Amino acid sequence: MAQPTFPRIAIIGAGPGGLTLARLLQIQGYTPTIFEKEAYPNERSQGGSLDLHPDTGQLAVHRAGLDKQFQAIARYQDEGLRILDKQGTILLEDKEDAERWHPEVDRIELRAMLLTSLTPNSVQWGKALSSVQPTGDGTHTLLFEDGQSEVFDLVVGADGAWSRVRPLLSAASPEYVGQSSIELEIDDVDRQYPHIARLMGRGTILAVSGLKGLVAQRNAHGHIRVYVTLGVKEEEIAALGIDVAQPARTRAQLIALFPDWNPDLLELIRVCNDNMVIRSTYMLPIGHSWDTHPGVTLIGDAAHLMAPTGGQGVNQAMRDAVELAEALGKCSTLEEAIQMYEQSMFVRARWAAELTAEGLDKIISEDAPASTLAFFRKFIKE
Ligand SMILES: Cc1cc2nc3c(=O)[nH]c(=O)nc-3n(C[C@H](O)[C@H](O)[C@H](O)COP(=O)(O)OP(=O)(O)OC[C@H]3O[C@@H](n4cnc5c(N)ncnc54)[C@H](O)[C@@H]3O)c2cc1C
């Protein structure tokens, strides 16, 4: 199929992948429509801070012409990492004067930056995709949960872990990876909890022992996100009987899981506010791929959902957007463009997923903190 002069492009999902792609396509003169199931930009807390890497996330920001806007929200000062044991002894920490190259950015601010860069009304909010159906002539019909439908020449699934576009291309489904976290939040740390601010060092701390970990990450505006991470089977998390609607009880239950840990570390649980979320970690199979299908492709988590351990997910999603936009600009047919993008993405995503899986095995492991240190020593200059 030749590339229509003005292909009708649908992007499903206004996450970092979908919004970056929309911006890059608009720069090239395309007019994609983004369909997002959330009713408005801040309907849901967008989650913690993300660090953008030079050849992926930062490259996308640059291609999107948003360097200046990014520098206004990038937190180079928070990219440090400190690894501790359960006694609170610092085992590894990046140097204070280490080169700063992968700044943190709050998701909410990244989303706002990308949204502001788009032409008004590019995103249709409150539009949850239900399924995609081939029409038979190379185009596809999007069926929405509100009963409406619309036909497009190119459908890009940027709709995350539980993509509704993916089933058209692949039978793969995310698999539980043996770790779950309870996400907690601490407000106004510098003023209210200076002892925790000191513990946090220059960004993220990782206190680990065996199959348990406390990961705490500095976000903007004195906010801290804590992930109480457990290497457990999925059913074991349910068996803990944690009910996040009862925060005081949850705090006590979580603290009881760490009986021999230094109380200074457990302050991360004791002082958290009442916003708590249980997150089970899933990944798509490493090397997930499919045969090119005319008129449909996937980017980001929809294509290669990874655990957070490698810090790769958002970076790969934004690099996908760069490569797909580039291929659409270069190729004379949509099919050729999709194929060019996918062949390169499959190789890159496999590498990132392998790194992520290695982190999963080593960060929270029977051998932690020794295995954790071995993993991070490859990246951190002490
Ligand atoms: C706890 C946690 C910590 C993480 N930490 C890091 C990190 O430090 N570094 C890193 O690189 N990555 C991290 N990640 C991964 C990162 O968040 C993802 O890889 C990234 O958000 C993927 O972007 P995306 O645009 O592909 O998908 P998403 O961010 O998931 O966005 C998908 C969008 O699609 C929308 N959507 C879903 N279904 C539909 C539908 N049916 N119809 C319409 N819209 C739909 C969603 O509402 C959402 O807005 C972390 C993930 C988690 C869970």
- Where exactly are the structural domains of the chain? 9-82+105-174+284-363, 178-282+367-376
Q: CA 99 to CA 96: how far, in whole Å?
A: 9
pLDDT of res. 24: 98
Q: CA 154 to CA 167: how far, in whole Å?
A: 16
pLDDT of res. 1: 56
Q: CA 223 to CA 83: how far, in whole Å?
A: 20
Cα radius of gyration rounded to whole Å, the chain: 21
Check for a shared fold between 9-82+105-174+284-363 and 178-282+367-376. no
Q: CA 36 to CA 124: how far, in whole Å?
A: 6
Report the alpha-carbon angle 324-282-185, nearest 5: 100
pLDDT of res. 42: 84
pLDDT of res. 98: 82
pLDDT of res. 154: 98
* Ligand 1 neighbour 113 (Cβ under 6 A): no
Within 8 A by CB and 6+ apart from 176, the residues are 234, 280, 281, 282
Q: How many Cβ atoms from other residues are within 10 Å of residue 95's Cβ?
A: 11
| 17 class by beta-carbon count within 10 Å (0-12 exposed, 13-18 middle, 19+ buried) | buried
For residue 303, the ligand 1 atom closest to its alpha carbon is 26
Q: What stretches in the chain show pLDDT beneath 70?
A: 1-2, 46, 381-382
Question: Which amino acid makes up residue 242?
Answer: I
Q: Annotated binding residues, as ranges? A: 44, 51, 107, 301
Q: CA 71 to CA 89: how far, in whole Å?
A: 34
Query: Please, are residues 312 and 291 in contact by the beta-carbon 8 Å criterion?
Result: no
Q: CA 339 to CA 72: how far, in whole Å?
A: 36
CATH architecture designation of domain 178-282+367-376: 2-Layer Sandwich (3.30)
pLDDT of res. 46: 67
Question: Which amino acid makes up residue 12?
Answer: I
pLDDT of res. 45: 73
For residue 181, the ligand 1 atom closest to its alpha carbon is 1
* Ligand 1 neighbour 140 (Cβ under 6 A): no
Q: How many residues would you count in the chain?
A: 382
Report residue 196 as tokens: 């925790």
CATH topology of domain 9-82+105-174+284-363: FAD/NAD(P)-binding domain (3.50.50)
* Ligand 1 neighbour 15 (Cβ under 6 A): yes
